[in-house]
């Protein structure tokens, strides 16, 4: 009698343990599947952020004043797909494009069924915009009044946006109908109105409009006064003829020169 009771208790405990294992498995198994998936999503988000920086900083090289000019969105999209969304160990080649084959995909970006999270590289798109630097001043354009006279570029704000549409994960709610899309954007200032040298500054001043510096207007009377002043130079205390439009960018005024300590 005692032996029969012990067997029944053991059977009930075994059944209870099996039930507890099943209940815990229903919680832990999805958790074990979701945690790695979230890590892969974070890696894709970081890659998209870096890709947007690449697109934006391309404007610092291929801007409106460069010899090559701006790159098109299609060209940048092809570069981004090849350099950021394919395998990390693939070599980078000029003009190369990524192929829709599994051997060129990132092996990390797969779900628990080994299905690619990015099955189509065409789901990676690039959009660039070029805006005037005046938008930074909220309509206050007094600081930019001289940009036209100096023939300075206006489309200085270059933004690069990269968007990625990921596939749903079949059989894993709620990721089976999430339609996850990642978008990252970076904005840089290109063509910062930096002069190539003193000659460039002097040229822009001389060729500017009347509003900035009336060089063309003052050049006529200056050419008349120059020989007169040259004749009476001694009587005028050694004053030299006016140099209209002269720009000495590398000359520091005497009152700005640090005097040696006595």
| 90: number of Cβ within 10 Å | 14
Query: In this structure, are residues 58 and 70 in contact, taking their beta carbons and an 8 Å threshold?
Result: no
Quick one: pLDDT at residue 3?
Answer: 46
Quick one: pLDDT at residue 260?
Answer: 64
Quick one: pLDDT at residue 125?
Answer: 96
- Provide block-wise average pLDDT over 10 residues at a time, the chain (262 residues): 49 60 60 81 95 92 82 92 88 79 89 91 94 65 60 82 95 87 92 75 74 72 71 58 62 69 57
HEC per residue, the chain: CHHHHHHHHHHHHHHHHHHHHHHHHHHHHHHHHHHHHHHHHHHHHHHHHHHHHHHHHHCCCCCCCCCCCCCCHHHHHHHHHHHHCECCCCCCCCCCCCCCCHHHECCCCECCCCCECCCCHHHEEEEEEEECHHHHHCCCCHHHCCCCCCCCCCCCEEEEEEEEECCCCCCCCCCCCCCCEEEEEEEEECCCCCCCCHHHHHHHHHCCCCCCCCHHHHHHHHHHHHHHHHHCCCCCCCCCCCCCCCCCCCCCCHHHCCCCCC
Quick one: pLDDT at residue 15?
Answer: 57
**Integer Cα distance of 172 and 170 in angstroms:** 6
**Integer Cα distance of 77 and 122 in angstroms:** 9
pTM: predicted TM-score of the whole model, two decimal places? 0.67
Q: How far apart are the first and last CA of the chain?
A: 115
Quick one: pLDDT at residue 19?
Answer: 62
């Amino acid at each position: 009698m005692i032996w029969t009771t012990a067997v029944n208790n053991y059977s009930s405990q075994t059944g209870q343990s099996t039930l507890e294992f099943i209940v815990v498995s229903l919680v832990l198994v999805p958790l074990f599947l979701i945690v790695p998936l979230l890590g892969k999503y974070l890696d894709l988000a970081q890659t998209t952020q870096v890709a947007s920086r690449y697109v934006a900083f391309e404007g610092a090289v291929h801007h409106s004043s460069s010899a090559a000019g701006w790159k098109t969105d299609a060209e940048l999209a092809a570069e981004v797909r090849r350099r950021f969304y394919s395998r990390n160990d693939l070599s980078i080649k000029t003009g190369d494009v990524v192929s829709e084959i599994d051997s060129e995909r990132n092996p990390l970006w797969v779900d628990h069924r080994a299905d690619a999270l990015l099955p189509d590289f065409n789901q990676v798109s690039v959009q660039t915009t070029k805006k005037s630097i005046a938008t930074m001043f909220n309509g206050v354009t007094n600081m930019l009044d001289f940009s036209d006279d100096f023939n300075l570029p206006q489309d200085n704000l270059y933004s690069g946006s990269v968007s990625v549409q990921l596939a749903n994960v079949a059989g894993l709610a709620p990721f089976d109908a999430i339609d996850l899309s990642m978008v990252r954007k970076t904005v840089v200032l290109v063509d910062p109105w930096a002069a190539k040298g003193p000659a460039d500054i002097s040229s822009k001043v001389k060729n500017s409009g009347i509003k900035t510096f009336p060089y063309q207007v003052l050049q006529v009377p200056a050419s008349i006064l120059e020989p007169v002043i040259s004749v009476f130079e001694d009587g005028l205390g050694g004053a030299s003829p006016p140099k209209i439009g002269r720009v000495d960018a590398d000359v520091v005024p005497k009152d700005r020169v640090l005097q040696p300590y006595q």
